[in-house]
Chain A
Amino acid sequence: AQKITQTQPGMFVQEKEAVTLDCTYDTSDPSYGLFWYKQPSSGEMIFLIYQGSYDQQNATEGRYSLNFQKARKSANLVISASQLGDSAMYFCAFSSGYALNFGKGTSLLVTP
């Protein structure tokens, strides 16, 4: 079974600074997808960014970018210019089939 690891249970960042949230995965499948989701206290899982295993370039979506290092099996999320509204839980997820396998999440707090 695939394993997703998020080693940072909690992170702090000052407003307008950049922050990196770590994610590593373990798989022998050649074809897979990596996803990041944001979950505010309201509970909804909000899709942020996707990276396919065969994508040559790192994915970017606005202030979000994914630092994909395939050989190291890592897919870190970088949030630039943090905003107070970025405070939330962030989940990394892996898929090689129907399911999304989620990590335990990182709680991000953005301070003024």
Chain B
Amino acid sequence: ETGVTQTPRHLVMGMTNKKSLKCEQHLGHNAMYWYKQSAKKPLELMFVYSLEERVENNSVPSRFSPECPNSSHLFLHLHTLQPEDSALYLCASSHTRTGRFTDTQYFGPGTRLTVL
């Protein structure tokens, strides 16, 4: 595997289900990100992990719970979602250096989530 991979690619879930999205990067990066892309809206940053520590949480509802067990893996745990949470969820990774803006972020193919 190369680059950034995401599983599953498509997910349909009911509002009472619990599911998890997985992201894995093979680029040796030390920062990972979750973005949400809804129809007709710009990409929204959800979470940032740098060196496995969460450094940013953009006021995301608690029904989204991230987990970063190591620098190569990132999860997004989902529970009791709403239909408006249906979107494309993109994972990205980059190098990050203190005091500098992010290096180029490389994205995975995304998980297209539908909440019924």
Which A residues lie within 8 Å of B73 (CB)?
Answer: none
The answer to whether residues A42 and B55 also contact, given A31-B101, A97-B102, A104-B42 and a CB cut-off of 8 A, is no
**Bound: A32/B103 CA distance, A:** 10
Q: Nearest B residue to A100 by beta-carbon distance? A: B105
Choice from B50, B106, B112 contacting A43 with Cβ under 8 Å: B112
Please tell me if B76 contacts chain A, counting CB pairs below 8 Å: no
Whether B42 and A98, one on each chain, are in contact in the complex, defined by CB atoms closer than 8 angstroms, is no
| A interface SS class | loop
A-side interface residues, number (CB < 8 Å): 25
Interface residues of B (CB under 8 A from A): 31, 33, 41-43, 45, 48, 50, 55-56, 58, 88, 90, 92, 96, 100-102, 104-110, 112
Going nearest first, the 6 A-B pairs with the smallest beta carbon separation are A45-B107, A102-B43, A95-B101, A44-B109, A43-B110, A99-B45
